[in-house]
């Protein structure tokens, strides 16, 4: 290498490797190369073997005030793919293309750039027999490059290869960092309200449920949680996940009833860029986010038929396909489903796939309603009061007023534990302005007031307590009042509030005469 080559190489290397930002490095190199060869731009492209396309990493140009700055990924033809994949993995001299359409890949990229009248000089950086992509310079006009220009650019193979390799590694680190940050944001939103949740009643009303959780948690079997709205299915699902070997992996919650039908495939399974209008970026679905962990499908009975089919495939093959994708993506996930609906009845009505029902119903756990586990009310009440008071910064934590727990136990709790939690939060909001030390009351609780047992009025001494005698007495009174008439608006049946046929059967059983044989004027 003579002095000219050494000076050229040294200055170019300093500029190419002197910045971690590849656009800055290429811009500095571009201005250096202008002193040695025709050049109006320099670009760095890479080949994606999965998508079979060429994408641009960086490009700088002085054509028409940087008119050529970038271009969209270029889909390759089978001929172009074969050319790239069979290209020898050894460094070679820079390739002169004084007319871009002389080479199949260059022709496609040239067309993506708008077919400007340019000449190309291509260099293929290779590291450890791995071809990284292509660095090319271009000059306005055809037939601009000569062998001397190719020789000079070939001298820069190693610095370009180093910069290319570092750029690809940096892009991968950025991609993984963004993915991790996205997962962290998503999981924080999904799980922040579960922090501190525990199974209240594990030694009493939920003892059987807790035992089933202990049995199934170490496995990867599907679990189906059944129970009314608000009984705590999500808490039980979280307990199963936290007690499993997947505890440190993602726990993704999906409310199947809250996703619009037209978005459910994209939300669950993800989509590729350009899969539909508005799909500007590739998106990982909930199943991909749950890989190696657990996915909780709440309100599974609300899934539309199309999504049921795709879920069945996931259960069978443990694979998904993104919307607009063609390659299957293998997953390692545990599925916990939950519903407050009768799936078996839905199967009979044709609203839920029978094969999906069989797949989900591996280990069903029925969570009892709050009214069936009232022994847990004191512990649940104390837990929610302490937790909500802490969230609302209420000090000291109030205690329930005398008789308040008795009022709670008389309530029917159609909303179960969730209703209790909301009731306590409302009571604490009302309690904020109360003087310190005031006990907590639940004024808006719709529960019946206790009352003393009713004392029946004394019966006349000659009144029989036999039920048939009492019925016979009432029928005679009704017949007397209606002149013996049984049916009709003014008949005894209407007066007693029963069907005429029912009354006649009862009269026949009790031996009470009726009909025309008794009085020809009545019926």
Would you write out the chain's pLDDT as a tens digit for each of its 523 residues?
788 888 989 998 998 888 888 888 888 999 999 999 999 889 888 888 777 888 888 888 887 654 454 567 788 888 888 888 777 777 788 889 888 888 888 888 888 887 888 898 988 888 887 778 888 889 988 989 999 999 999 999 888 888 888 888 887 787 777 666 666 555 544 444 444 456 888 888 899 999 999 999 999 999 999 999 999 999 999 999 999 999 989 999 999 989 988 889 889 998 887 787 767 677 889 999 999 999 999 999 999 998 999 999 999 999 998 888 888 899 999 999 999 999 999 999 999 999 999 999 999 999 999 999 999 999 999 999 999 999 999 988 999 998 889 889 999 999 999 999 999 999 999 998 888 888 998 876 754 444 444 444 454 555 555 677 778 888 888 888 888 888 877 788 877 777 777 788 788 878 888 664 444 444 4
Q: How many CB atoms are closer than 10 A to CB 130? A: 10
Cβ atoms 430, 443 nearer than 8 A: yes
- Residues 365, 363: Cα–Cα separation, whole Å: 7
Strand order in the sheet with 294-298: 251-255, 294-298, 334-339, 223-226, 364-366
Q: Taken in order 237, 240, 244, 248, is the CA torsion positive or negative?
A: positive
pTM: 0.54
Q: How many CB atoms lie under 10 A from the CB of residue 505?
A: 12
- Report pLDDT for 194: 43
The reported pLDDT for the residue numbered 522 is 43
Sort strands 134-140 and 118-123 into parallel, antiparallel or unpaired: antiparallel
**Of 205, 96, 72, 213, which is closest to residue 144 (Cα–Cα)?**
96
> Tell me, what's the pLDDT at 86?
79
> Each residue of 402-428: b (16+ CB within 10 Å) or e?
eebeebbeebebebbbbbbbebbbebb
Strands (E) in 73-172, as ranges, are: 74-75, 95-97, 118-123, 126-127, 130-131, 134-140
- Find the farthest-apart pair of alpha carbons in the chain and give their distance in angstroms, rounded: 140
User: Comparing C-alpha atoms, which of 31, 37, 1 is closest to residue 121?
Assistant: 37
Specify the DSSP class assigned to residue 328: -
pLDDT of residue 452: 44
Of 30, 1, 29, 3, whose CA–CA distance to 15 is shortest? Answer: 29
* Beta bridge partner(s), residue 138: 41, 120
Residue partners of 513: CB distance under 8 A and separation at least 6: 507
The single residue listed with the structure tokens 């079997």 is 221
Phi-psi region of 368 (alpha: psi -120 to 50; beta: other; left: phi over 0): beta
pLDDT at position 463, please? 52
Question: CB-based contacts of 241: which residues, under 8 Å, 6+ apart?
Answer: 247, 251, 293, 294, 296, 334, 336
CA 55 to chain CA centroid, nearest Å? 31
């Amino acid at each position: 290498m003579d002095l000219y080559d050494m000076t050229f190489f040294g200055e170019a290397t300093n500029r190419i490797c002197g910045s971690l930002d590849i656009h800055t490095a290429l811009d500095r190199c571009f201005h250096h190369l202008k002193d040695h060869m025709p050049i109006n731009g320099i670009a760095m492209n890479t080949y994606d073997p999965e998508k079979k396309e060429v994408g641009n990493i960086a490009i700088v140009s002085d054509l028409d005030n940087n008119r050529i700055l970038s271009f969209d990924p270029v889909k390759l033809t089978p001929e172009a793919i074969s050319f790239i994949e069979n290209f020898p993995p050894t460094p070679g001299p820079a390739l002169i293309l004084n007319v871009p359409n002389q080479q199949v890949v260059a022709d496609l990229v040239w067309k993506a750039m708008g077919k400007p009248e340019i000449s190309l000089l291509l260099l293929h950086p290779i590291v450890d027999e791995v071809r990284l992509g292509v660095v090319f310079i271009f000059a306005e006009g055809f037939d601009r490059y000569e062998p001397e220009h190719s020789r000079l650019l070939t001298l820069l193979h190693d610095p370009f290869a180093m910069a290319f390799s570092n750029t690809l590694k940096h892009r991968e680190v950025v991609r993984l960092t963004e993915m991790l940050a996205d997962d962290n944001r998503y999981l924080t939103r999904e799980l922040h309200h579960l922090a501190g949740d525990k199974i209240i009643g594990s030694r009493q009303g939920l003892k059987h449920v807790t035992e089933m959780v202990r049995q199934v948690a170490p496995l990867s079997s599907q679990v189906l949680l059944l129970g009314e709205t608000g009984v705590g299915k999500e808490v039980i699902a979280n307990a199963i996940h936290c007690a499993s070997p997947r505890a440190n992996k993602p726990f993704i919650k999906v409310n199947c009833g809250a996703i619009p039908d037209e978005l459910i495939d994209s939300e669950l399974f993800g989509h590729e860029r350009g899969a539909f209008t508005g799909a500007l970026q590739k998106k990982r679905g909930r199943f991909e986010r749950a890989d190696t962990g657990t996915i909780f499908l709440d309100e599974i009975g609300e899934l539309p038929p199309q999504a049921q089919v795709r879920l069945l495939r996931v259960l069978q093959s443990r694979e998904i396909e993104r919307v607009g994708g063609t390659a299957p993506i293998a997953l390692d996930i545990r599925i916990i489903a939950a519903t407050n609906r009768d799936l078996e009845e839905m199967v009979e009505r044709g609203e839920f796939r029978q094969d999906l029902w069989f797949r989900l119903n591996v280990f069903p756990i029925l969570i009892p309603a709050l009214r069936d586990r009232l022994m847990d009310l004191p512990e649940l009440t104390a837990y929610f009061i302490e937790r909500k008071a802490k969230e609302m910064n209420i000090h000291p934590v109030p205690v329930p007023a005398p008789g308040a727990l008795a009022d709670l136990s008389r309530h029917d709790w159609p909303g179960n534990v969730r209703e209790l939690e909301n009731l306590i939060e409302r009571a604490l909001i009302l309690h904020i302005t109360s003087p310190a030390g005031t006990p907590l009351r639940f004024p808006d609780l719709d529960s019946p007031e206790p009352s003393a047992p009713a004392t029946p009025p004394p019966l006349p001494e000659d009144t029989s307590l036999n039920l048939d005698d009492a019925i016979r007495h009432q029928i005679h009174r009704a017949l007397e009042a209606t002149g013996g008439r049984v049916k009709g608006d003014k008949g005894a049946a209407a007066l007693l509030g029963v069907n005429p046929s029912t009354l006649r059967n009862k009269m026949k059983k009790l031996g009470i005469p009726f009909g025309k044989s008794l009085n020809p004027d009545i019926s």
